[in-house]
A and B are shown apart, each in its own frame.
Chain A
Amino acid sequence: MTLLREHLGFDSVPASVNLCALCGSVVIFSGMMPARTVARALLIGLTFAAPGTPAYAQLPAVAVERRLAEDLALRVGDTVRLGTAPDSMRALATVGAVYEPRPDPAQITKSERHMRMHLPDLAAILGAPDRVDRFGVGLVPGTPADSAVAALERTAFGYQAHASSAIASESSQTFIVVSRFHRAIAVITIVASAVFLLCIMLLKVEERRMDAAVMRFVGVRRRTIFGALLLEAALIAVAGSMLGTGLAFAAGAATNAYYRRFFDTALVFSLITPGIVFFSVALSLGLGLAAGAAAAWRLVHTRPMVLWGRR
């Protein structure tokens, strides 16, 4: 079984993190494409050594992503063979740690698996000593990142410097698009539900047509009938909103449970904030009451004979 490590993302380059103590806000990338990397490593899980066998005590240690460890049934202390191609699996290493990667929405749909190792070990496997894809540069507190980037761009020929914030905004572009899409879908959904709500409210009030006619016949005041109809509409709107909120939480929980299992991640997919609840309830109550009031007003201002006749 072979697995590939590709896409060494900015957040998952602990090899360079270890060496460069990446903590600042400027990162320099060699090459043109910051999100891409030339480094590839192939990894084969092996079970030719019992965990903790002294003979392998001096082997380099690697940290293996939890899902990869599960896929290959690796445990801390196991020995693995590493290489850049299936026919060059020459390097040996021990699994020093199994780690849970930080949940990253950009990674969940990719089936790739990661492992981390010390930079010299990776360089040795790749046969590219003293080469890195990028440096992380920490700035003295107070130094503006942009001016540091500009300075580096001027002096370090052959490199490109990027501020972390710029990279972050670039890589979050996908999610900006997705959230714009979600917002558009939400608008359509809100329009649909609003129409649905208006329709149901209208029907609900009109169902009372005969009752209203009878009440008018026996001399009940319009105000009283209107009040009664509105009260009924309000009760329905409140009950519906409560039910809807409950339903939303249930659906959100189901969505989260499903996608967390589906992508094997701890990410939150559906988040129902108090703001959302407030907006939805306010909208449905407002629309429901408005629709109920409009329909009730129409009803009490229709002549009772017409109400009676138009059955």
Chain B
Amino acid sequence: MKGIAWGLKSLRRHRLRTALSLAGIAVAAAMLLDMVMLSGGIDKSFTDLLLGRGYQIRLTPKGTLPFDTEATMAGASGIVAALRRDPAIEAVGAVLGTSLYGRTADSLVTLFGYGIEPDAQSLYQLASGRDLTPGDSSGVVLSEPAARFLGAAVGDTVTLVGRLDPQTVTAGVGRRLVVRGVVRWLYDYRGQPSVGTVLPLMQRLARQPSADRASVILVKVREDAAVPGLAARLRARFPQIEVNSVAELVAHFRERLVYFRQLAYILGSMSLIVAVLLIGTLLTITVNERLGEIATLRAIGVSRATIVRQTLAEGTALTVVGSALGIMLGLFTARYLDAILTSFPGLPAAFSFFVPRADTLGFAALVLLVTGSLAGLYPAWLASRAPIAATLRAEAT
């Protein structure tokens, strides 16, 4: 800024007041930041999670979302084969999710089982050991919690017991399998004991009414742009099956969490209003106190523009410093709030509600800066319009 920043120096005159205002702006900015992170974070986090391995389309039983229910689709291998013939499709993987038991020395522990196709799976990442190979009907991969439950490490042998049949009241068949690797399941909630085998093996363990069933079929499309068209085509082709692109799943999910987005908007706007009110009130009162000074400046030839600029600069300085403090506070509180929300039961551990994104953070900062500076407009106008002679005379009383 050219010249002498008397406006900014005025902020130092009333330290307590400036400090309190900064604290207020910081808390409001932190809240705004958190709410911006919350409003965009859910989508972002969910999209990232679903697109983690690039599979853009999910096929599930009609009317369900992936792993939402225990419903399964019949004739999975036929559908998969048909899909693999489609030139637009790069990869297809069928998955069966089911509950089963693992046998430990003294009891059965409940596990969640995934039947996957090793050459087209998008559900886990290998943490240690090695991956399953297609046709490996004696291998299993475990999640960290499952390995702990079963007390098994890579290379050990574990016994999985299929679903209990309530009608015959007998346990299902038991299978002795070798632990090939420990993996991180992308959609597991924290501490979920999951195990994975090749699909046919899990189908046998799941004891579905018919053998060839899957819970979800994941489709990787070659061109991202082709996804909506392909999804529509698949929907027409398989009317008995639910076809969802990731974007559509995100939309479903967003609908379920609509409350949080609305809360984010409301609280975000309220924070903005609080910040603007604080800056506006503070500046209006300081300007009123300084009308004499301002009239003097006008008398000795300081232009209205300079007065406005200096007053706005005060508002901007408050906003910038307050926001800087607010960002630190906001990032801290976001972690705390995220820890609360991610303890939702059944939520994938990799999910977070508050996601700092450069674009949304930049947007929030910009909005705050603009509105904070605009909050100085009224006081600036007040300052620049003060009648010089009358104000000087009033000051002399």
List the interface of chain A (C-beta within 8 A of B): 2-4, 6-7, 30-33, 36-38, 40, 42, 85-87, 109-112, 131, 157-159, 170, 173-174, 177, 180-181, 184-185, 188-189, 191-193, 195-196, 198-200, 202-203, 206-207, 209, 310-311
Contacts and interface: CB of A to CB of B under 8 A. Distances in A.
Interface string B61-81: 111100011110000000000
Q: List 9 tightest A-B contacts by C-beta distance, closest first.
A: A4-B63, A32-B99, A192-B27, A195-B24, A158-B164, A199-B20, A109-B256, A173-B345, A30-B166
Given A6-B63, A109-B257, A192-B27, 7 more contacts: A36-B69, A38-B69, A85-B62, A159-B166, A177-B345, A188-B34, A200-B281
Nearest to B165: A158
Nearest to B256: A109
Contacts of B163: 31-32
Given A188-B30, A206-B285, A177 B70 contact: no
A278 B336 CA distance: 28
A192 B256 CA distance: 29
The residue among B13, B170, B333 with the most chain A CB atoms within 10 A of its own CB is: B333
B328 interface: no
A266 B318 CA distance: 45
Contact of A6 (B68, B165, B271): B68
A188 B166 contact: no
Given A6-B63, A158-B166, A196 B71 contact: no
Contacts of A310: 13
Contacts of B341: 177, 181
25 contacts: A31-B99, A32-B99, A32-B110, A38-B70, A38-B71, A40-B61, A40-B69, A85-B62, A86-B240, A112-B63, A158-B165, A180-B343, A184-B336, A184-B337, A192-B271, A195-B20, A195-B27, A196-B24, A196-B274, A198-B20, A199-B17, A199-B281, A203-B281, A209-B289, A311-B290
B23 A203 contact: no
B257 A33 contact: no
Contacts of B340: 177, 180-181, 184
The residue among A6, A86, A206 with the most chain B CB atoms within 10 A of its own CB is: A6
B345 A202 contact: no
A173 B170 CA distance: 33
A207 B337 CA distance: 39
A171 to B, nearest CB: 9
A4 B70 contact: no
Contacts of A33: 70, 99
Interface string B314-347: 0000000000000000000100110011011100
B28 A192 contact: yes
B54 to A, nearest CB: 29
Nearest to B395: A311
Given A174-B344, A177-B340, A181-B337, A110 B256 contact: yes
A202 B16 contact: yes
B49 interface: no
Interface residues of B, number: 61
Contacts of B31: 188-189, 192
Contacts of A2: 62-63
Nearest to A181: B340
B169 interface: yes
Contacts of B89: none
A85 B61 CA distance: 10
B282 interface: yes
B62 A157 contact: no
Nearest to A111: B255
B267 A185 contact: yes
Contacts of A30: 166
B377 interface: no
B179 interface: no
A42 to B, nearest CB: 8
A109 B337 CA distance: 22
A6 B17 contact: no
Contacts of A188: 27, 30-31, 34, 333
B21 interface: yes
B239 interface: yes
A207 B289 CA distance: 8
A311 B293 CA distance: 9
Interface in B227-284: 239-240, 255-259, 263, 267, 271, 274, 277-278, 281-282
B7 interface: no
Nearest to B341: A181
B115 interface: no
B239 A157 contact: no
Contact of B63 (A40, A199, A203): A40
Interface in B3-31: 13-14, 16-17, 20-21, 23-24, 27-28, 30-31
B17 A109 contact: no
Contacts of A110: 256
Contacts of B274: 192-193, 196
Given A109-B257, A111-B255, A203-B285, A87 B240 contact: yes
Nearest to B285: A203
A32 B281 CA distance: 60
Contacts of B257: 109
A40 B61 CA distance: 10
Contacts of B64: 4, 6
A86 B241 CA distance: 10
Interface string B23-60: 11001101100100000000000000000000000000
B348 interface: no
B255 A185 contact: no
A111 B23 CA distance: 43
Nearest to B263: A185
A191 B27 contact: yes
B20 A206 contact: no
Contacts of B267: 185, 189
Contacts of A199: 17, 20-21, 23-24, 278, 281-282
Contacts of B240: 85-87
B292 interface: yes
B27 A36 contact: no
